Amino acid sequence: MIAIVVSRADSASEHIGERLLDIGDWERRDDPSRPDAAGGGTYYRTDGFELREFDDLHIDLDDPATAFDCDPAFLAFVSRHSGETGELLTAHVTGNFGPAPYGGEPETLARAAPGAEKRVVEALASHAPDGYDAGIECTHHGPTATAVPSLFVELGSGEPQWTDPEAARAVARAVLDLRGTGAHLVGDSGETVDETAADSPPRHVVGFGGGHYAPRFTRIVRETEWAVGHVGADWALGELGAPDANRDVIEQAFARSRADLAVIEGDRPDLAATVEDLGHRVVTETWVREVGDTPPIAGRAARGGRRDGRRGAPVRRGRPRNSRRSPRQGAPGGPALAGAGRGRGRGPGGGGDEHCRLRHRAGRDASSGPGRVRRRREFARIRRPRR
């Protein structure tokens, strides 16, 4: 069962919730044991899903999983995304590598749902109305104490998009496309399962570095057989501080992503050394593409004897190699977000997800063919994000 969280304090969340109820064949139920403001009262159930509404913003909910009359495989928070990013459908997992100005606890990461994120981004790209991009964001904002894995699925990036019925319907359809899937990506068939059903280690990587909108990790999600868990963008790693002094947070990124491998954007030898010292491995985007759906070896012990997360794969020592693919290169089903991942992206985002900031400029590229638009985005830090 997948638990869908709708916030009455978020107009886009309510709009997506309405479209969900329009599309699905829902049974209306009543829960008198909880206040209406806390997910009680009227709620809805259909095959594979339960939907409940809360008065508070998503980021202010400690653990909404306790409100659901089921044993959720994961939580899906349907939410607005806010920023100067135009028409954008995104997904991300939650947590704080550093301080916690937008919900959750500082230096705490929530249990991620990488397989569900991969599936929903594929579905967002498939259902997106003309003009909308689809991708992931880095880990940011709360909640951090969810009892089950979770992810945000968002509609952005301003009032025209929040009230766009086709865009809200696209997000709703993407969420419903998760029916029957779990939080984690396992096996050579690419199935997603919950934590109790995963017999083999998931095909997950953790991401470090790059901009807030994570084009390298969006490419991995959309173009490879692997999923991405927590992503610590440049700005988040800056707030984290020295890797060796914050080993517990780095270890959380792996444990709560159910991952043993990391892809690092840029030259970060101290971080790479800490990752390896914790018993994990650094690989490259190229490696992820080449290994395909080969199952990773379970557990750290299996990677003794100089192996790199798959059977027979030699460890690549030294500074991680970055992929030579352009960060502007698109992905099947739609263009990847451009311009991020060059170290300029900064700002915590948050608020589900009304605190992201991005300056972008759109210009038609005559060489790309009619109807295609190349968007050039320049990222900048905003010290006081909009609530």
Q: Please state, in angstroms and rounded to a whole number, the distance separating the CA atoms of residues 226 and 69.
A: 32
pLDDT classification of 24: cutoffs 50, 70, 90: confident
Q: Is the pLDDT of residue 387 over 60?
A: no
> What residue numbers bound the domain in which 89 lies?
2-378
Q: What are phi and psi of 3, to 5 degrees?
A: -95, 120
What is the pLDDT, as a whole number, of residue 200?
A: 74
Residue 132 lies in a domain: yes
| Within-domain flag for 53 | yes
Residue 387 within a domain: no
Q: Does 386 fall in a domain?
A: no
Q: Does the structure show a pLDDT above 60 at 349?
A: no
Q: Write down the pLDDT at residue 199.
A: 60
Mean pLDDT lowest for which of 4-8, 82-86, 101-105, 274-278?
Answer: 82-86
- What is the count of structural domains for the chain? 1
Q: Is the pLDDT of residue 143 over 80?
A: yes
The answer to whether the beta carbons of residues 32 and 40 sit under 8 Å apart is yes
- Mean pLDDT, rounded, for 351-375: 34
The answer to whether residue 206 is domain-embedded is yes
**Average pLDDT over the chain, rounded to an integer:** 81
Position 364 in a domain: yes
Looking at residue 193, its pLDDT comes to 57
**Do residues 169 and 177 make contact, with C-beta atoms less than 8 angstroms apart?**
no
Q: Is residue 384 part of a domain?
A: no
Q: Which of 182-191, 246-255, 350-359 has the highest mean pLDDT?
A: 246-255
The more confident residue out of 257 and 306 is: 257
The CATH number given to whatever domain includes residue 243 is 3.40.630.50
- 2-7: strand order across its sheet: 27-31, 41-46, 49-54, 2-7, 74-82, 150-157, 88-92, 133-136
**Is residue 308 in a domain?**
yes
Please report the pLDDT score of residue 294 as a whole number: 84
